[in-house]
Amino acid sequence: MIIWFYPSLGGMEYVLHHLLSLAAVAYSMLTGEGQLYTFMVLISETTTPGINLRWYLDTVGMKRSKAYLVNGVVIFVAWFVARVILFMYLFYHIFLHYDQVNCCCKTLPAVIPRRACLLFTSLFAS
């Protein structure tokens, strides 16, 4: 679907993001390394249906409806739990087990927490 609707769904960074995600999940499944971390990151994707619903409600002109407001509150809570708190625990767990993680992965992505905070603050802007 990403390739079929390219570039209307997103640019090359969108495609690259999903290709790297697919590679990370495949690597985790095939090697058995980093499965906990991979699944924790996948849990953060539970916020996606709410974000899609928010876009749909905006598109059909229901931005001032109660459904839009309730969806916004649910997204806020889900985002905070699934992206902020979960990632704080994820990085705390990596810190505690750094010697084990360092055997598998030579570098830890520092971009992920910054990206999560940026997306979390963008909820306030809209």
Mean pLDDT to the nearest integer, 10-17: 80
pLDDT for 79 equals: 92
pLDDT for 108 equals: 44
Segment 50-97, tens digit of pLDDT: 999 999 999 999 999 999 999 999 999 999 999 899 989 988 888 888
Domain boundaries, the chain: 1-32, 43-125
User: Which among 37, 32, 13 has a CA at the least distance from the CA of 109?
Assistant: 37
CB 44 within 8 A of CB 87: yes
d(CA 98, CA 13): 29
User: Which among 43, 123, 35 has a CA at the least distance from the CA of 85?
Assistant: 43
Q: How confident is the model at residue 104 (pLDDT cuts 50, 70, 90)?
A: low
**Residue of higher predicted confidence among 99 and 112:** 99
Give the CA radius of gyration of the chain.
17
81-91 burial, b at 16+ Cβ within 10 Å, e below that, comes to: ebbbebbeebe
pLDDT for 25 equals: 85
Give the mean pLDDT of the chain.
81
User: Which among 56, 81, 73, 57 has a CA at the least distance from the CA of 123?
Assistant: 73
Q: How confident is the model at residue 30 (pLDDT cuts 50, 70, 90)?
A: confident
pLDDT for 61 equals: 95
